[in-house]
A = this chain, B = another copy of it.
Amino acid sequence: MRQKEKVTIYDISKKLNISAATVSRALNDSDRVSLKTKELVLKTAKELNYQQNALALALKSGRTFNVGVVVPYINHTFFASVIRGIEEELEPKGYHVIICQTHENVESEAKQIKTLLNTHIDGIFISVSKTTESVKHIEEVRDEGVPLIFFDRKKDISGVSSVTINDFEGAYEATTHLIQQGYTNIAHIGGDHKLEIYKHRYDGYIAALKAHNLPVNDDLLLQVNSTVEAGIEAVKFLLKNNISFDAIFSASDYVALGGMRELRANGFKIPEDVGVVGFSNEPFTKYLERPLTTVGQTPVLMGQIAAQVFLEQITDVKKNFRVEKKVVLSPELYTRDTSIKKGS
């Protein structure tokens, strides 16, 4: 039951009475080794069940074939799906994914990045936390020459690539859809504008209103956290203050869900009295008794593309130049029950 002996290239070299260097060359398919010894080495390597020691290789080469992914929470479907996309793309290439969560906390984020750098990861994928304002800890990654890719929640740092979705477009489409369904008094319950994504969703909402000659009413603009409870509170607030509205475009599915609860509790019918559109296409949205219209972000695809950008980047680094690549994915509107005005 004790540790099995690890077989090294020396074991092979001894058995074959050749040098370890030759074994190494044979294993790496160098052309400076005879076909005969190459075959011999490969054969005995298999016999002895030789496994290359990744650690020694990493120490020597500086590459670990590990990448780090830093997200606010790993058990949020969106982030878990992005990670899955990254993993699917990178695993066939021999990479491992190390995940870190920040709990929306900058200090934690900085610490995670530091230890990741110390572990000599080959690259970092990050979706910044809500509280991240200073980006010193992120710039350090770039300055150390470690490939860095933002996804979804990015910061503007020169020389860093990113993969995001077009939040403006998503919001614009969602709002336009509500307008086309006949809703004219649309509230927007968004998130903190410190995060670009929420700012862009807000902008898209405003642009859609203006494009359709609808007035912008400040009373209909709220910024809340992305939780069911916040959604309940937001609608309570609107109702309490007698602010009239016939639709809600929410920047979060959770908020939309909470909002719908509160609306129903107050006798409003959805979508007859109030239309509702969320954002993210969280899995639960389509399972609701009255499925929620929402904007999908193709998170798995986002992860896959982020991984591809990373792979391009490491070959670029070898060529000694750095490109800043900004990929913007198109969101997709899932039109479901909560926004279809009957008879329209």
Residues in chain A within 8 A of chain B (CB atoms)? 1-4, 51-56, 58-59, 64, 66, 73-75, 77, 80-81, 83-84, 87, 91, 94, 96-101, 115-120, 142-145, 159, 228, 257, 283-284, 287-290, 322
Identify 10 new A-B residue pairs, CB closer than 8 A, beyond the known A51-B117, A98-B98: A1-B142, A1-B159, A2-B145, A3-B144, A75-B77, A96-B98, A96-B116, A97-B98, A97-B99, A283-B284
**Is the Cβ of B144 less than 8 Å from the Cβ of A115?**
no
Give chain A's interface secondary structure class: mixed
B66 touches A75 (CB 8 A): no
Cα distance A94–B97 in the bound complex, in angstroms: 17
By a CB distance below 8 angstroms, the chain B residues around A91 are 100
Chain B residues within 8 Å of A289, by CB? 288-290
Do A145 and B3 have beta carbons less than 8 Å apart? yes
Closest to A322 in B: B1
A54 touches B119 (CB 8 A): yes
Asked whether A96 and B115 contact (CB < 8 A) given A55-B64, A143-B4, A145-B4, the answer is yes
Known pairs A1-B145, A80-B80, A145-B1; A287 contacts B87 (CB<8 A): no
Question: Which of B56, B97, B288, B290 is close to A59, meaning CB atoms less than 8 Å apart?
Answer: B56
A273 to chain B, nearest CB (A): 16
Choice from B58, B77, B99, B144 contacting A83 with Cβ under 8 Å: B99
A325 CB, nearest partner CB in chain B, Å:
16
Shortest CB–CB separation between residue A314 and chain B, in angstroms? 13
Tell me the nearest residue of chain B to A73, going by C-beta.
Answer: B84
Complex CA distance for A257 and B83, rounded to whole angstroms:
27
How far is A4 from B73 in the complex, measured between Cα atoms in Å? 31
Q: A96-B119, A97-B98, A115-B96 known; A287 and B74 CB under 8 Å?
A: no
In the complex, the answer to whether A288 meets B290 with C-beta atoms within 8 Å is no
Known A-B contacts A96-B115, A120-B54, A322-B1; A287 and B290 likewise in contact (beta carbons under 8 Å): no
Bound together, the chains give a CA A180 to CA B55 distance in angstroms of: 59
- Chain B residues with Cβ below 8 Å from A1 are 142-143, 145, 159, 322
- Bound-state CA distance A52–B83 (Å) is 28
Which residue of chain B has the shortest Cβ distance to A94 in the bound complex?
B115
In the complex, residue of chain B having the shortest beta-carbon distance to the beta carbon of A121:
B96
Query: Which residues on the B side are within 8 Å of A144 (C-beta)?
Result: 3-4
A58, B55: Cα distance in complex, Å: 7
